[in-house]
């Protein structure tokens, strides 16, 4: 993975020092809250319902074991013993004291981490495929480009005060595991007719109040122009994005207002003027950064080792975990293992300090010392020898990190909701719990195959409810929590925004309604048809009739 050079180290430490001074000026009253607010946001400090929250950047979700240990330390010494992994592959802590944040940032800097631009109307953490580097269907590893974008976007002098936040995602594989169609800019590594790899550039996707599928603005962008092209898009957006209404300020609104062709024309016109002016990525720049993401020292192994087969045959629990929580690896003899942060009794994405410490140890022992956060709020140990999977499973089981539910109905995305978040209209974690309680039989869940449920506590859609098979959105009506259900969303290359089922349902009924929907799926499914396939074949009405039959 990438390692800071002196330049990075200075920058990140100086940023921490700057924030220490800003906090000092705030606490002395010299800096009013109104002016401090955007500064603290740009260092990841939010005001939540009860306390400050600190969101720490995990660039493209990749962590070294020593960084995971530092997160454990922060959870233990500055929080209530846990952290929460987010859909931006970041981690947030819910209970730090403002006075302590400068110390936390110093400690993060000591392990090459920071909280820069994890909030505020600026360029946020670039996300990517959690299987980057090991996926079988990968054209090229996207992480070097994520890292280049991290560097370019860090304290960018011109784009720190955009109309609204700005999110970029990159995918390097045939299938899309990074939701590139739902980002302000989505980049896909693709091959052109001459066999060169470059980027397909999508723009103006997003969730929130107005979900929009991103549109192609460039079919093939040469790698050397990546940064200048991004800069051209950002400049057009900075100058023309709406600033009169926060709900209409994202780039998706601008792209729709201008039309993608006119937006493209303006970006191209701007780009022509800057493309050769100092942002070019030369081959040697790219190669240097790629050098940090070389495959680890894999052993020469083969798939299907007898020792694994024996364990799989001898232990059905292990076999179940293997089936659901591990996936193919491009290197023979290895598999990818998911660390499920979706145990039935804990909020999705939460990990305790002792779990984090233990995960770091497991990463050192079994997976070349690296841990990957996923936007589904799980963790991944990417490079596990197949013959060591059994030991890993035993260790994860003891830690309650082996719930064999990856990709299934209980592998839900759940935002912090009303439990923590000041913006929320309704609780999300309770709904996750309700669904976990109802669907507590694994065999039943396995029979359904992969079904996604995503829960947001308000219109801002941090829980990505628009792009789930079954989306759940909390709303408030006359002081009570209600929930709107959407069906048929998809985050992948078949990008789709879920359609509203009908009027919202009471909090107590949410799991029962999910049950009705699942019943129809089970009754109507032909063979191995996915939920989406059944939904597309039948339409939404049959679901509607069942759910609203009683009243």
Query: Closer CB to other proteins, residue 239 or residue 332?
Result: 239
Query: Closer CB to other proteins, residue 21 or residue 303?
Result: 21
| Cβ proximity of 383 and 368 under 8 Å | yes
Give 364-392 as a 3 state SS string.
HHHCCCEEEECCCCCEEEEEEEHHHHHHH
Give 70-109 as a 3 state SS string.
HHHHHHHHHCCCEEEECCCCCEEECCCCHHHHHHHHHHHH
CA 491 – CA 505 distance, rounded (Å): 25
Query: Closer CB to other proteins, residue 154 or residue 325?
Result: 154
| Cβ proximity of 476 and 463 under 8 Å | no
CA 460 – CA 167 distance, rounded (Å): 14
CA 475 – CA 455 distance, rounded (Å): 11
Query: Closer CB to other proteins, residue 105 or residue 348?
Result: 105
Comparing CA positions, the residue from 380, 384, 473 lying closest to residue 426 is 473
Query: Closer CB to other proteins, residue 17 or residue 387?
Result: 17
Place of tokens 């980002």: 183
The least CB distance from residue 214 to other proteins, in Å, is: 23
Query: Closer CB to other proteins, residue 43 or residue 94?
Result: 43
| Cβ proximity of 362 and 396 under 8 Å | yes
The least CB distance from residue 18 to other proteins, in Å, is: 5
| Cβ proximity of 546 and 520 under 8 Å | yes
The least CB distance from residue 64 to other proteins, in Å, is: 18
CA 404 – CA 385 distance, rounded (Å): 19
Burial of 502 (0-12, 13-18, 19+ CB in 10 A): middle
Query: Closer CB to other proteins, residue 164 or residue 311?
Result: 164
The least CB distance from residue 170 to other proteins, in Å, is: 15
The least CB distance from residue 155 to other proteins, in Å, is: 6
Residues that bind other proteins (CB under 8 A): 4-5, 7-8, 10-11, 14-15, 17-18, 21-22, 35, 38-39, 121, 147-148, 151-152, 154-163, 227, 235, 238-239, 243, 273, 277-281, 285, 288-289
Range list of H helices, 28-164 = 33-41, 65-78, 101-110, 143-153
The least CB distance from residue 240 to other proteins, in Å, is: 9
Query: Closer CB to other proteins, residue 244 or residue 528?
Result: 244
Query: Closer CB to other proteins, residue 238 or residue 486?
Result: 238
The least CB distance from residue 114 to other proteins, in Å, is: 12
The least CB distance from residue 274 to other proteins, in Å, is: 8
CA 381 – CA 392 distance, rounded (Å): 10
Nearby residues of 389 by Cβ (< 8 Å), 6 or more positions away: 308, 311, 318, 322, 326, 335, 337
The least CB distance from residue 168 to other proteins, in Å, is: 15
């Amino acid at each position: 993975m990438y390692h800071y050079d002196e330049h990075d180290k200075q920058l990140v430490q100086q940023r921490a020092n700057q924030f220490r001074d800003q906090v000092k000026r705030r606490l002395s009253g010299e800096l009013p809250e109104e002016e401090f607010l955007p500064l603290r946001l740009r260092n990841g400090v939010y005001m939540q319902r009860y306390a400050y929250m600190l969101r720490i950047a995990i660039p493209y979700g990749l962590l070294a074991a020593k960084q995971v240990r530092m997160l454990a330390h922060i959870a233990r010494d500055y929080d209530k013993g846990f952290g929460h992994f987010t859909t931006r592959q970041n981690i947030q802590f819910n209970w730090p004291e403002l006075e302590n944040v400068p110390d936390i940032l110093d400690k993060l800097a000591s392990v090459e981490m920071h909280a820069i631009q994890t909030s505020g109307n600026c360029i946020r953490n670039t996300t990517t495929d959690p299987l980057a580097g090991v996926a079988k269907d990968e054209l090229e590893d996207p992480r070097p480009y994520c890292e280049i974008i991290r560097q370019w976007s860090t304290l960018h002098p011109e784009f720190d005060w955009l109309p609204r936040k700005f999110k970029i995602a990159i995918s390097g594989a045939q299938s899309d595991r990074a939701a590139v169609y739902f980002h302000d800019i989505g980049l896909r590594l693709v091959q052109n007719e001459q066999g060169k790899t470059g980027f397909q550039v999508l723009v103006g996707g997003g969730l929130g109040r107005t979900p929009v599928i991103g549109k192609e603005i460039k079919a093939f962008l040469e790698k050397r122009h990546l940064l200048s092209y991004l800069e051209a898009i950002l400049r057009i957006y900075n100058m023309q994005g709406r600033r009169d209404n926060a709900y209409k300020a994202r780039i998706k609104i601008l792209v729709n207002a201008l039309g993608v062709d006119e937006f493209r024309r303006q970006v191209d016109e701007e780009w022509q003027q800057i493309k050769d002016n100092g942002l070019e990525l030369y081959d040697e720049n790219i190669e240097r950064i790629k050098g940090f993401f070389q495959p680890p020292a894999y052993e020469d192994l083969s798939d299907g080792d007898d020792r694994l087969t024996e364990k799989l045959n001898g232990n059905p629990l292990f076999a179940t975990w293997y089936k659901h929580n591990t996936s193919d690896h491009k290197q023979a003899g290895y598999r990818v293992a998911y660390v499920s942060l979706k145990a039935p009794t804990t909020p999705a994405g939460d990990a305790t300090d002792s779990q984090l410490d233990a995960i770091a140890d497991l990463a050192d022992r079994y997976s070349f010392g690296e841990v990957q956060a996923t936007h589904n709020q799980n963790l991944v140990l990417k490079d596990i020898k197949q013959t060591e999977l059994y030991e890993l499973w035993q260790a994860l089981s003891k830690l309650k990190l082996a719930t064999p539910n990856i990709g299934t109905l209980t592998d839900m995305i759940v935002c912090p909701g009303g439990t923590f978040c000041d913006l929320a209209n309704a609780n999300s974690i309770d709904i996750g719990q309700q669904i976990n309680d109802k669907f507590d039989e694994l065999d039943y869940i396995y029979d359904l195959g992969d079904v996604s449920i995503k829960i947001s506590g308000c219109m801002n859609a941090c829980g990505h409810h628009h792009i789930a098979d079954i989306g759940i959105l909390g709303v408030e009506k006359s002081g009570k929590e209600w929930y709107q259900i959407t069906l048929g969303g998809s985050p992948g290359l078949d990008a789709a925004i879920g359609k509203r089922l009908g009027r919202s349902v009471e909090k107590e009924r949410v799991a029962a309604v999910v049950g009705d929907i699942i019943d129809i799926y089970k009754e109507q499914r032909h063979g191995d048809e996915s939920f989406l396939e059944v939904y597309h074949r039948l339409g939404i009405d049959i679901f509607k009739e069942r759910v609203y039959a009683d009243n």
